[in-house]
A and B are shown apart, each in its own frame.
Chain A
Amino acid sequence: MVTIDLSKTPVRVANEMIRGYGSTRQDVEVINPDARHYIGVGLTTPITVRIRGSAGYYCGGLCDGPRFEVEKNVSWGVGDNLLCGTIDVRGNAGAIAGVGLRGGEIVIRGNMGSRAGQVMKKGTLCCGGNANFMAGYMMYGGRIIILGNSGERVGEDMMGGEIYVAGMVDSLGNDAMLIEPSSSDTDSVLQFLDRYDIPFRGTLKKIVCRGKSLRYGTAEPRLRKLPYTSFSSPGQTDYWNPKVREDIRVKAHIGRYRIRGYGASRHLPHFSDIVFRQDMSKVTPEEDMVSKVNLRTLIGDKHGGRALDLSMPVMIAPMSFGALSPQMKLALGIASRLSGISENSGEGGMLSAERAEARQMIAQCLAGRLGWNVHDMKRADGVEIYISQGAKPGLGGQLMAEKLTKEIAAVRGIPAGMDLRSPSRHPDILGGDDLIMKVEEFREATGWRVPISIKLGAGRIRDDIKIALKDGLDFVELDGMQGGTGAAGNEVLEYVGIPTLAGLQEALDGLAEIQAEGQLPIVIMGGIKDGLDAAKAIALGATAVAFGTSMLIAAGCITCMQCSVGSCVIGAATQDKEHTARFDVKKRAMQVHRFLEAVRWQLAFIAHAHGYTDIRQLSRKDLVALTPEAAAFTRLPYEPGYRRSSSRAL
């Protein structure tokens, strides 16, 4: 056994050493831990780590295989997302012990703090003392054993798994119920306690999900003849138009909001309301123009990680495997490689075939930690913390039961067949201070090698961007109201959020307010439809843009806006094999790739037409606003005159 003294060795170095000893299967003793954070984070070898004292936040977090023995206490988030292995804590644990647990065993011999086992999926979390409120909050599976009292609202909104309580059940959470444990349940718990030499002679109460909140009630009737866009289309001027009437009738039937895909479909001020001053009508594109304009963009090396190397300032926006079919994800992976840009996993785990195809892949971490694991982090080229998205800021993802197939449920580590409403808030990011600690944990887990970015839906962005800057993120993916989604309430999509154009300007203003212009790259997304929009966004101050919806349309999406239903006829937004069988991956990937090359051409052309050799030479000075709204959003000069000559205004 080797000894590491944390009073002499910084945790960052110590973790490298522990991983090194792990690879040669040597056990490690950590002395003078003094409640320092992130001890052993990201360890994926089956060694024993003995911590002679107390450990801080995320002790043994994001691990697979090791055994941790902690002599005293641990702070928040012990065993975060543990896949396999053991953590044995002699003292007490802070809040969210075993958060997002995916396997293995965590034993807290003392008391544990609130929200223990939040969003856990597998494995066992055992507490010898009392638990605090909301143990098992939103758990999807696995087992919690509490030998003392349960704390208030135990099993709040649990969707699976089981909780055993030996002491008093202070109160049950929403959708949780008490049942008698079977004798095999009890035997299994007793065997577990026996293995850890925990004496116990009481009786157990069992708490499981009651199952009243897992599915929406009456199913929404599927209507194709009146697409959502009809509402705002010209010609529908009468107030009680057919769309409005249909909406009322459907709601009268189902008694709740309606769910659909895509983003805001009503008109909002957007990049088409600002134009370049430059008259480009006389410019002749040169044959090798693309090679003469520098479009290459490096992003994400602000804190020493390896930057994403984009052949142009473009990314593919995060869209999940789940919302999209594996075939569609694969096509995006291939197209991103062919065009030399990055692809993003979105919520719910990384598809291995896509990882292999995409040259640069960002792993996105969401609040439900669905499919999240250390191995995907390590094989990613970037890690992204999702806070919210433009289409439904402040709300979690939704995946209807039709799309939550056995395969998808297995990847996500959750029960199949429910209307999945992902949590909207991270268990361990409740404020800017917690966010710093999450970022640090991710840096430790990935050995400080990859960029860590944050996805923000435009809301209170002027403040949020300052927090992102201070919390050590490498770049921000900022998403406006026009951004798409696989499923959300129609009213939310249409009326909640900040338009992309306004969001970008607010973010830039926020940085300027603290004299940090240009210090935090912004990747803007949300209704970016072509290279022209992209060039305008870059001229305004974005570092890059991301395409989501336009990628799907390029791949053949018919824009029926029924992504949530799960019967996408082209096989892009479905898990139904009958539909996905029609999806020709190679052909669709080439369509997406060709669209991306058209974007590249447009970017190069616009820079070239201005006489620039680098896309970053575009600036605000090159733009004017055509509408008072767009001028108010961006503070660009309002020059409606350019509209009259719109044949030349781009």
Chain B
Amino acid sequence: MCSIAGILFKNGSRSSLPMTTGEALTEMMDACVHRGPDSAGWALYRDPHPGRLRLRFLVPQGTDHGEVVDRIKERLELEGAELMHEERLGCTYGVVVGFEGDLQRFSYAMEKAGMLLSAGSSLDIIKDVGRPLELCNTYRIAGFNGTHGIGHTRLATESGVHPETAHPFWATGFADVATVHNGQITNYWIMRRRLERHGMEFRTENDTELIAVYLAYRMSKGASLKEALRTSLEDLDGTFSYLVATADSIGYAKDKLAAKPMVKYEDDALIAIASEEVALNRLFPGKSLDTTEPPPHTFGLWSRSLSE
């Protein structure tokens, strides 16, 4: 009940788009906002600093911002992470810390202090209730000009409208893995219990989080992202078109019923995927694009350095 969007610039190229990566994503999301006006979110891949970790927390409305921040800082110290940079942005609190160790253990520990939206060397998830254009200003999305990112607008159908139920979802405990999704995973509880038996933890009952954790778990067991995408077509049941992003790539998968639309455009410089062609045209106004609709029951993967 949503729209998805993703963009990746190949080979570090900045192409001739007259807009930043953040603006491009936001434009694409705005073009499809009719599919989901409740909330919006971005997974942005910022420049990584070696040995440092980005964390973003959600500070829910009605809680004392200062109190939450103090708790987070205390916990960071306790976990031996050195605070390098902090920012307060809308309903979030972001930090860059010096940390080297087991991210999964660290992030589970940090969640005792605050609601963790994302963690990784470059991943930064920003999401809130509202429409992309409004949120873009609040969260200074236009200033982002990295190599890739994914975005989402949501029409809430089952769970409520809160920042924490907006997409993208981070694969809790796994650095830099984020997903956005349009559709519904119908074997959610079967898959969730299967993953929980392997020690995975879930923060919501949202099926998109399941996709993220599923992919990250598969990769942690040695599968490549490509392999994980392939098996997801068999393991996940329901109607879905989803995007996954990692530190250097973007992938998609589409179920066999193809009930959820997805269109892609690719040229030498970039690959862009969205729910509808109208979103891709926002990047190239007035042009007729050679787009393709990924066939049912397929997946694809592009990375910054090599494309498929």
Question: A residues touching B (Cβ–Cβ < 8 Å)?
Answer: 7, 31-32, 34-37, 52-54, 56-57, 71-73, 75-76, 91-92, 94-95, 113-114, 132-133, 430-433, 436-437, 440, 463, 466-467, 470, 513-514
| B contact residues around A92 at 8 Å (CB) | 291-293
Given contacts A71-B288, A113-B293, 6 further A-B contacts (CB under 8 A): A35-B278, A53-B288, A75-B263, A92-B292, A431-B157, A433-B155
A32, A95, A467: the one within 8 Å of B157 (CB): A467
A54, A432, A440: the one within 8 Å of B277 (CB): A54
A409 to B158, CA, bound (A): 40
B1 (CB) vs chain A CBs: closest residue: A432
A72, A76, A95: the one within 8 Å of B288 (CB): A72
- Mask of B1-20 contacts with A, CB within 8 angstroms, 1/0: 11100000000000000000
Lowest 3 CB-CB distances: which A-B pairs, in order?
Answer: A34-B281, A72-B288, A35-B277
A437 to B161, CA, bound (A): 21
A36, A133, A433, A513: the one within 8 Å of B35 (CB): A433
A132 to B294, CA, bound (A): 11
**Would A35 and B280 count as touching, CB distance under 8 A?**
yes
Q: When A132-B296, A431-B1 are in contact, do A75 and B277 touch as well, CB less than 8 Å? A: yes
Residue from B2, B3, B36, B295 with most neighbouring chain A CB atoms (10 Å): B295
Main secondary structure of the interface of A (DSSP, over half): loop
- Mask of B148-168 contacts with A, CB within 8 angstroms, 1/0: 000000011110110000000
B284 (CB) vs chain A CBs: closest residue: A34
Q: When A7-B285, A75-B277 are in contact, do A431 and B258 touch as well, CB less than 8 Å? A: no
A to B CB contacts below 8 Å, 28 in the list: A32-B285, A34-B282, A34-B286, A35-B276, A35-B277, A35-B280, A37-B276, A53-B287, A54-B277, A56-B276, A57-B276, A72-B288, A73-B277, A73-B288, A94-B263, A94-B277, A94-B293, A132-B295, A132-B296, A430-B260, A431-B259, A433-B2, A433-B155, A433-B182, A436-B155, A437-B35, A440-B34, A466-B157
**Would A76 and B155 count as touching, CB distance under 8 A?**
no
**Would B292 and A94 count as touching, CB distance under 8 A?**
no
Answer whether residue B146 sits at the interface, using C-beta atoms and an 8 A cutoff: no
A32 (CB) vs chain B CBs: closest residue: B286
**Would A133 and B1 count as touching, CB distance under 8 A?**
no
| B contact residues around A94 at 8 Å (CB) | 261, 263, 277, 293
B183, B278, B286: the one within 8 Å of A7 (CB): B286
B36, B258, B288: the one within 8 Å of A114 (CB): B258
| A contact residues around B277 at 8 Å (CB) | 35, 54, 56, 73, 75, 94
* Nearest CB of chain A from residue B62's CB, rounded to whole Å: 15
**Would A463 and B34 count as touching, CB distance under 8 A?**
no
Answer whether residue B239 sits at the interface, using C-beta atoms and an 8 A cutoff: yes
| CB interface residues, B 248-294, toward A, < 8 Å | 258-261, 263, 276-278, 280-282, 285-289, 291-293
* Nearest CB of chain A from residue B194's CB, rounded to whole Å: 26
| A contact residues around B287 at 8 Å (CB) | 53
Q: When A56-B277, A132-B258 are in contact, do A436 and B35 touch as well, CB less than 8 Å? A: yes
A514 to B296, CA, bound (A): 35
**Would B285 and A114 count as touching, CB distance under 8 A?**
no
* Nearest CB of chain A from residue B255's CB, rounded to whole Å: 12
Chain B interface bracket (under 10, 10 to 19, 20 to 34, 35 or more): 35 or more
B155 (CB) vs chain A CBs: closest residue: A432
| B contact residues around A430 at 8 Å (CB) | 239, 259-260
| A contact residues around B292 at 8 Å (CB) | 92
A456 to B282, CA, bound (A): 36
Residue from A35, A76, A440 with most neighbouring chain B CB atoms (10 Å): A35
| A contact residues around B35 at 8 Å (CB) | 433, 436-437
| A contact residues around B239 at 8 Å (CB) | 430-431
**Would A56 and B293 count as touching, CB distance under 8 A?**
no
* Nearest CB of chain A from residue B181's CB, rounded to whole Å: 12
B279 (CB) vs chain A CBs: closest residue: A35
* Nearest CB of chain B from residue A526's CB, rounded to whole Å: 24
Q: When A433-B35, A436-B35 are in contact, do A34 and B285 touch as well, CB less than 8 Å? A: yes
* Nearest CB of chain A from residue B235's CB, rounded to whole Å: 21
A113 to B260, CA, bound (A): 12
B278 (CB) vs chain A CBs: closest residue: A35
A52 to B292, CA, bound (A): 19
Answer whether residue B98 sits at the interface, using C-beta atoms and an 8 A cutoff: no
| A contact residues around B261 at 8 Å (CB) | 75-76, 94-95
**Would A36 and B288 count as touching, CB distance under 8 A?**
no
* Nearest CB of chain A from residue B156's CB, rounded to whole Å: 8
Residue from B1, B35, B37 with most neighbouring chain A CB atoms (10 Å): B1
**Would A432 and B286 count as touching, CB distance under 8 A?**
no
| B contact residues around A75 at 8 Å (CB) | 261, 263, 276-278
**Would A470 and B37 count as touching, CB distance under 8 A?**
yes
A54 to B258, CA, bound (A): 21
Answer whether residue B38 sits at the interface, using C-beta atoms and an 8 A cutoff: yes
**Would A56 and B278 count as touching, CB distance under 8 A?**
yes
Q: When A34-B281, A34-B282 are in contact, do A463 and B288 touch as well, CB less than 8 Å? A: no
**Would A432 and B281 count as touching, CB distance under 8 A?**
no
A31 (CB) vs chain B CBs: closest residue: B286
| A contact residues around B155 at 8 Å (CB) | 432-433, 436, 467, 470
A52, A54, A95, A513: the one within 8 Å of B281 (CB): A54
A191 to B263, CA, bound (A): 34
| B contact residues around A133 at 8 Å (CB) | 258, 296
A132 to B260, CA, bound (A): 14
A53, A76, A470: the one within 8 Å of B286 (CB): A53
* Nearest CB of chain B from residue A291's CB, rounded to whole Å: 44
| A contact residues around B258 at 8 Å (CB) | 95, 113-114, 132-133
| B contact residues around A37 at 8 Å (CB) | 276, 278
**Would B296 and A114 count as touching, CB distance under 8 A?**
yes
A514 to B156, CA, bound (A): 11
**Would A433 and B36 count as touching, CB distance under 8 A?**
yes
A466 to B38, CA, bound (A): 12
* Nearest CB of chain B from residue A171's CB, rounded to whole Å: 13
A92 to B289, CA, bound (A): 11
* Nearest CB of chain B from residue A313's CB, rounded to whole Å: 29
* Nearest CB of chain B from residue A440's CB, rounded to whole Å: 7
| A contact residues around B286 at 8 Å (CB) | 7, 31-32, 34, 53
B153 (CB) vs chain A CBs: closest residue: A433
A253 to B180, CA, bound (A): 53
**Would B276 and A436 count as touching, CB distance under 8 A?**
no
B281 (CB) vs chain A CBs: closest residue: A34
| B contact residues around A466 at 8 Å (CB) | 156-157
B288 (CB) vs chain A CBs: closest residue: A72
A71 to B157, CA, bound (A): 37
| B contact residues around A57 at 8 Å (CB) | 276
**Would B157 and A432 count as touching, CB distance under 8 A?**
yes
| B contact residues around A433 at 8 Å (CB) | 1-3, 35-36, 155, 182
* Nearest CB of chain A from residue B256's CB, rounded to whole Å: 8
**Would A431 and B288 count as touching, CB distance under 8 A?**
no
A92 to B261, CA, bound (A): 14
A331 to B292, CA, bound (A): 53
B37, B184, B259, B289: the one within 8 Å of A72 (CB): B289
B289 (CB) vs chain A CBs: closest residue: A54
* Nearest CB of chain B from residue A346's CB, rounded to whole Å: 27
Residue from B263, B278, B282, B285 with most neighbouring chain A CB atoms (10 Å): B278
* Nearest CB of chain B from residue A88's CB, rounded to whole Å: 15
* Nearest CB of chain A from residue B17's CB, rounded to whole Å: 15
A36 to B278, CA, bound (A): 6
| B contact residues around A470 at 8 Å (CB) | 37-38, 155-156
| B contact residues around A35 at 8 Å (CB) | 276-278, 280-281, 289
A508 to B155, CA, bound (A): 20
| A contact residues around B160 at 8 Å (CB) | 513-514
**Would A436 and B158 count as touching, CB distance under 8 A?**
no
* Nearest CB of chain A from residue B292's CB, rounded to whole Å: 7
* Nearest CB of chain A from residue B198's CB, rounded to whole Å: 31
**Would B260 and A431 count as touching, CB distance under 8 A?**
yes
A514 to B162, CA, bound (A): 11
* Nearest CB of chain A from residue B29's CB, rounded to whole Å: 13
A31 to B281, CA, bound (A): 13
